[in-house]
Amino acid sequence: MGNDNAYWDWRDEQLKAGERAKGGEPCQVCGEPVPARAHWKHRDRHVCSPRCNLTLNRRFNRRIERGEITRPPVFSPDPQGARPARAFRTLPAGSLFPYEIQGYSPKPGDVMERHGSVIAVHRAVDLPDYAIPWQVRPHSGSSWQLEQVALSVHTQTGAAFYYLTDHTWTPTSLILGAFLGLKPLDDTFGPFEAEGGTWRWYTEIIRDVDETDQEYTWTAFVCGKESVPRLWTPAYAARSERLQRVSRATGSYAARMRELGLEATVERLDPLAVYERDGWICQICKTAVERERAWPDMWCATLDHRIPLTAGGEHTLLNVQLAHWICNLHKGDYFPVDL
């Protein structure tokens, strides 16, 4: 549910030690010289090796635990916001994704149908006293507020799963337990017999992204004949693949520049986005690049630097273009003088 990227960006800023080390500066952990070809993050932090970087990370985490450093909030707003109650269905076979979801979780009044099993979500505060387990009733000795408690009710068996929520009715980490006829089940997530069948409670966890490309997690408590593994929506899977492409490309060109002893910008960019921008036309020979071709096919798509890295070019969106691999090799370190 949290904005992990925002946390790591903040963390990187906190760990910077001023100007990027160029080589020879003392490591702030062990005092040894920082190598000129060390990873750029290590040079930003003025550490000489992965071992010292790990030590610096541990020291930083301990400072957070002691309260010396205050972490910024990392939770983004519920992407669904206020909405009327609705039903979440199992989609027909052949659909891009098997289930309907919206936001972080189902809200009170919602109904979930999963493969014929139906679960209704309620607020505990709206129930009559006899339907509220003693563990969450006022004056039971618990620190829970009844207004924070929600429950998922399995309509076929009457089994109920009580859980704590935050102000948006999103489940929190503390789970109160499952009940059948107001009696606690022996094993909260274990199978139980009821209505001529074997059922089990499980947590439905689905990773998704919102309209701003911010990732979040849908969490719901479901009773069914079998549990379902954690799932990614097509949008989340596409985002994950894109981030992998960006990381591979960035790491590859950063390593190449370190080998050449160059100091230049390495921008995080998606090669596929560059190929789409250039219309899948090689910018050197001006003919089409076939999407299906992959390395080591000589006619596969590659990123070409308009101004080569060895001539002072940078790995930025403005300096890269699509090219056949063979065209890229033939071009080499040449670039037109009018660039």
200-222 pLDDT, tens digit each: 999 999 999 888 788 888 999 99
To which H or E segment does residue 312 belong? none
What is the per-residue pLDDT for 337?
A: 46
Q: Cα(76)–Cα(5) distance, rounded to whole angstroms? A: 11
Nearest 5 degrees, angle CA 330-CA 336-CA 339? Answer: 130
**Average pLDDT, rounded, for the chain:** 86
At residue 179, does pLDDT exceed 50?
yes
- What tokens appear for 214 in the block? 């911010």
Which residues, including other chains, have CB under 8 Å from residue 135's CB and lie 6 or more apart? Answer: 142, 176, 177
Contact between 289 and 278 (Cβ < 8 Å): no
Q: Tens of pLDDT along 63-98?
A: 887 878 887 755 556 666 678 999 999 999 999 999
Note the Cα 75 to chain centre separation in Å: 12
What is the per-residue pLDDT for 146?
A: 76
Which residues, including other chains, have CB under 8 Å from residue 113's CB and lie 6 or more apart? Answer: 87, 88, 89, 90, 119
Contact between 132 and 124 (Cβ < 8 Å): yes
Q: Convert 254-286 to b/e letters by CB count within 10 Å (16 or more is b).
A: beebbeeeeeeebeebbbeebbeebeeebbbee
Compute the average pLDDT of residues 225-241. Answer: 91
Q: Cα(167)–Cα(179) distance, rounded to whole angstroms? A: 24
Q: Cα(320)–Cα(322) distance, rounded to whole angstroms? A: 7
Strand 301-305 with 111-114, pairing: unpaired
Tell which wins on pLDDT, 75 or 103: 103
Strand, helix or coil at 231? strand
DSSP 52: H
Which residues, including other chains, have CB under 8 Å from residue 259's CB and lie 6 or more apart? Answer: 37
Dump strand ranges (E) for the chain.
Answer: 87-88, 111-114, 117-123, 149-154, 160-165, 171-180, 183-184, 192-194, 197-209, 215-224, 231-232, 301-305, 320-324
At residue 292, does pLDDT exceed 80?
yes
At residue 44, does pLDDT exceed 70?
yes
Choose the weakest-confidence range: 152-166, 183-197, 282-296: 183-197
At residue 106, does pLDDT exceed 50?
yes
What is the per-residue pLDDT for 47?
A: 94
At residue 183, does pLDDT exceed 60?
yes
3-state secondary structure 157-220: CCCEEEEEECCCCCEEEEEEEEEECCEECCCCCCCEEECCEEEEEEEEEEEEECCCCCEEEEEE
Percent of the chain whose predicted confidence (pLDDT) is above 70: 90
- What tokens appear for 32 in the block? 């040894």
What is the per-residue pLDDT for 197?
A: 86
Contact between 182 and 162 (Cβ < 8 Å): no
Confidence of residue 5 (pLDDT cuts 50, 70, 90): low
At residue 321, does pLDDT exceed 90?
yes
Compute the average pLDDT of residues 134-163. Answer: 79
Confidence of residue 191 (pLDDT cuts 50, 70, 90): confident
Would you tell me the crossing angle of helices 50-65 and 4-15 to the nearest 10 degrees?
110
Please classify residue 127 by burial: count the beta carbons closer than 10 Å to its beta carbon, then call 0-12 exposed, 13-18 middle and 19+ buried.
middle
At residue 139, does pLDDT exceed 80?
no
DSSP 252-281: HHHHHHHHTT----B----HHHHHHHTTTB
